[in-house]
Chains A and B, each alone.
Chain A
Amino acid sequence: MSVTSDQSPTRQARGLSLGGLLRNEQIFLIILLAVLIVGLSLAAPRFMTAENATAILHQSAMVLIVAVGMTMLLITAEVDISVGASLAFASCVVMDVINTTSSLTLGILAGLAFGGGVGLFNGLVVTRLKVNSLIATIATMMILQGGVFLYTREAVQNHHQIEAFSLIATGYVGPVPVPVIIAALLAVVFYVMLNYTLIGRRVFAVGSNPKAARLSGLSPETIKLVAFVVTGILVGVAATILASLLNAGQPTAGRGFELIVIAAVLLGGTSLFGGKGTIAGTILGVLILKIIDNGIIILRWNQDLQIIVPGVVIILAMFLDQLRKGRTDG
Chain B
Amino acid sequence: MQQSADTAAPAPARKADHRLFRGNLVALVVSLALVIGFFALATEHFWSLRNITNVLGQASILMCLTAGVAIVFISGEVDISVGSLVAAIAIPLIVIMNATGSLALGLGGALALGLLIGVVNGYLSVYLKINSLIVTLGTLFIIRGLVYLYTGKRAIADTVYLESFFQLGNGRLWGLIPYPALVAFALVGGLAVLMTQTRFGRKVYAVGGNAEVARLAGYNVRRIKFTCFVISSLAATVGGILLASRLGSAVHVAGLNYEFQAVAAAVLGGVSLAGGIGGLIGSALGVLILAFVSNGLGMMSAPTEWQLVITGAIIIAAVALDSAKRERA
Contacts and interface: CB of A to CB of B under 8 A. Distances in A.
A322 B319 contact: no
Chain B binding surface, main DSSP class: helix
Contacts of B308: 142-143, 145-147
B319 A138 contact: no
Contact of B131 (A142, A143, A149, A272): A272
A140 interface: yes
Given A130-B324, A146-B308, A302-B149, A308 B131 contact: no
B13 interface: no
Interface in A286-330: 302, 304-312, 314-315, 318-319, 322
B129 interface: yes
Contacts of B124: 315, 319
A146 B306 contact: yes
A286 B128 CA distance: 25
Interface string A112-133: 0000000000000100011110
B134 A138 contact: no
Contacts of B145: 304-309, 311
B212 interface: no
Interface string B37-79: 0000000000000000000000000000000000000000000
A142 B261 CA distance: 9
Question: Mostly helix, strand, loop or mixed at chain A's interface?
Answer: helix
A262 interface: yes
B137 A138 contact: no
Interface string B289-313: 0000000000000010111111111
B148 A139 contact: no
B144 A314 contact: no
Interface in A89-122: none
A301 to B, nearest CB: 10
Given A138-B315, A272-B133, A305-B149, A131 B323 contact: yes
Interface in B176-216: none
Contacts of A262: 137
Interface of B: 124, 128-131, 133-135, 137-142, 144-146, 148-149, 153, 260, 263-264, 267, 273, 303, 305-313, 315-316, 319-320, 323-324, 327
Which 8 A-B residue pairings sit nearest by Cβ, starting from the closest?
A: A146-B308, A311-B141, A308-B145, A142-B312, A143-B312, A129-B320, A311-B142, A146-B305
Given A132-B273, A311-B137, A319-B124, 6 more contacts: A135-B264, A135-B267, A135-B273, A308-B142, A308-B149, A311-B145
